[in-house]
Amino acid sequence: MNLKGRSLLTLKDFTPEEIKYLLSLASDLKRKKRMGIKGSLLEGKNIALIFEKPSTRTRCAFTVACVDEGGHPEYLGKGDIQLGHKESVEDTARVLGRLFDGIQFRGFSQENVEKLASCSGVPVWNGLTDAYHPTQILADLMTLQEQFGQLKGLRLAFVGDGRNNVANSLMIGCAKMGVHFTLVAPRSLWAGEELVDLCRSYAADSGATVSLTDKLEGVEGAHAVYTDVWVSMGEEDKAAERLSLLRPYQVNEALMAMTKREDAVVLHCLPAVKGNEVTEETFEKHATVIFDEAENRMHTIKAVMVATL
């Protein structure tokens, strides 16, 4: 499958077959890394890593993935370039596209990552915006596949803030790959209707379902219960309101018992605020899977860079 030259801005743009290919490539690259086999698939490639928002997993995953395959990553923090301030996003894109072979962007505006992609002339990868977090979902899908041996027919429940970038992207990824998706959240924090309708159209093709409920019973039958922080970056002023609204939606042992599955796992994109969205007890019980998921950020990101460059 040829993905050369493609950008990854949202999983909406990728077919189930293309996503499957990226997951398969990631598994192959992971196996080689475990065997100590160094690659050269990014040799001679220079990668710009633009970070408006700080990051542990995304920055480290892109850096290690790039170096593993012989490429050179260049970190550009918000103090290093004038993205959209002294210089327009479009002009910055045209400069970076002349100097680099690929660009990662982690920041606030989805519009900015789209401008980078349309003006730079090189592949651009969304490392997180306020709207979407596609590289995280590739790692989540890879982890589910490792845990259960397949994706199609699995059930995943996202519990918490259903409008955030992870919930949005998970709904897209699950619907495309045949994973039944249930959003368990207060109605005021449900995903937008337009996105839900779009994901239901993907689900109709894949044989999956997309459901929304404010009842905790929505986790019943879930192979995976996924949660994320209750207060996203940039929304700190809403912390008190969010905490009181989401307190009943904490992932704990009582909630996990409601899945009625002995093999149910907890997933979390990290960092976790233990005692809020998940108890320390439940987090630690599922820590091996959660940190597999964190490691898989690197393998899936490596697959995306290799496939598109």
Asked whether residue 147 is marked as a ligand-binding residue, the answer is: no
Q: Annotated catalytic residue: which of 119, 223, 269, 286?
A: 269
Asked whether residue 55 is marked as a ligand-binding residue, the answer is: yes
152: number of Cβ within 10 Å: 12
Asked whether residue 154 is marked as a ligand-binding residue, the answer is: no
Q: Annotated catalytic residue: which of 133, 155, 286, 299?
A: 133
DSSP labels, 235-266: -GGGHHHHHHHHGGG-B-HHHHHTT--TT-EE
Active site residue 187: no
Active site residue 150: no
Q: Annotated catalytic residue: which of 106, 155, 286, 299?
A: 106
Active site residue 237: no
Q: Annotated catalytic residue: which of 101, 104, 119, 136?
A: 136
Residues 245, 54, 57, 182, CA torsion sign: positive
Asked whether residue 133 is marked as a ligand-binding residue, the answer is: yes
Q: In three state form, how does the secondary structure of 85-125 look?
A: CCECHHHHHHHHHHHCCEEEEECCCHHHHHHHHHHHCCCEE
Asked whether residue 297 is marked as a ligand-binding residue, the answer is: yes
Asked whether residue 298 is marked as a ligand-binding residue, the answer is: no
H helices of the chain, in order, are 16-34, 57-68, 89-99, 110-120, 134-148, 165-177, 193-206, 239-246, 253-257, 280-285, 287-308
Asked whether residue 31 is marked as a ligand-binding residue, the answer is: no
Asked whether residue 165 is marked as a ligand-binding residue, the answer is: yes
User: Using CA atoms in the order 132, 133, 138, 142, what is the torsion angle rounded to 10 degrees?
Assistant: -120
Asked whether residue 85 is marked as a ligand-binding residue, the answer is: no
Active site residue 200: no
Active site residue 136: yes
Active site residue 269: yes
> Which candidate, 260, 254, 249, 269, places its Cα nearest to that of 223?
260
Asked whether residue 56 is marked as a ligand-binding residue, the answer is: yes
User: What's the order of all strands across the beta sheet hosting 155-159?
Assistant: 210-213, 180-184, 155-159, 224-227, 265-268
Asked whether residue 201 is marked as a ligand-binding residue, the answer is: no
Asked whether residue 232 is marked as a ligand-binding residue, the answer is: yes
Asked whether residue 136 is marked as a ligand-binding residue, the answer is: yes
Q: Annotated catalytic residue: which of 68, 101, 161, 228?
A: 228
Binding-site residue positions: 55-58, 82, 106, 133-136, 165, 228, 232-233, 269-270, 297
Binding-site residue positions for L-ornithine: 165, 228, 232-233
Q: Which residues are catalytic?
A: 106, 133, 136, 228, 269, 297
Binding-site residue positions for carbamoyl phosphate: 55-58, 82, 106, 133-136, 269-270, 297
